[in-house]
Amino acid sequence: MPNIKSAKKRVNVIKTKTLRNRMINSKLKTCLKKFQLLAEQGDKEQSKAAYDVAIKKLDQAVAKGVIHKNTSSRKKSKLTLKLNKIA
């Protein structure tokens, strides 16, 4: 445990930021899984809606600094390919 006042404050700030990052990451993963599930079922309209939500969550995660820009681009590319494969 830190003894200095500023170090104690940093511990609290880091807890808060970690919680925020976990929440954003969790929502992102949920959206990605939902898209994957709908894409496997082959439902084009619902997959498109889930795709739009997933892309938005990826952009938000990048904007908040939770994931790297290139990671987001890679995932978007993968999702787009999967969406285009649906007949």
In this prediction, residue 62 carries a pLDDT of 97
Rounded CA separation 3/69 (Å): 37
Per the listing, tokens 């908040």 go with 64
pLDDT digit string, tens, across residues 2-20? 999 999 999 999 999 999 9
- Percentage of the chain exceeding pLDDT 90: 93
pLDDT digits (tens, 9 = 90+) for 32-45: 999 999 999 988 99
Q: What is the pTM of this model?
A: 0.86
Q: Which region, left, alpha or beta, applies to residue 42 given φ > 0 means left and ψ of -120 to 50 means alpha?
A: left
Domain extents in the chain: 5-85
Query: What's domain 5-85's superfamily in CATH?
Result: Ribosomal protein S20 (1.20.58.110)
Query: Mean of the pLDDT values across residues 52-80?
Result: 97
Nearest to 31 by CA among 85, 70, 67: 67
> Stretch 69-85: mean pLDDT, rounded?
97
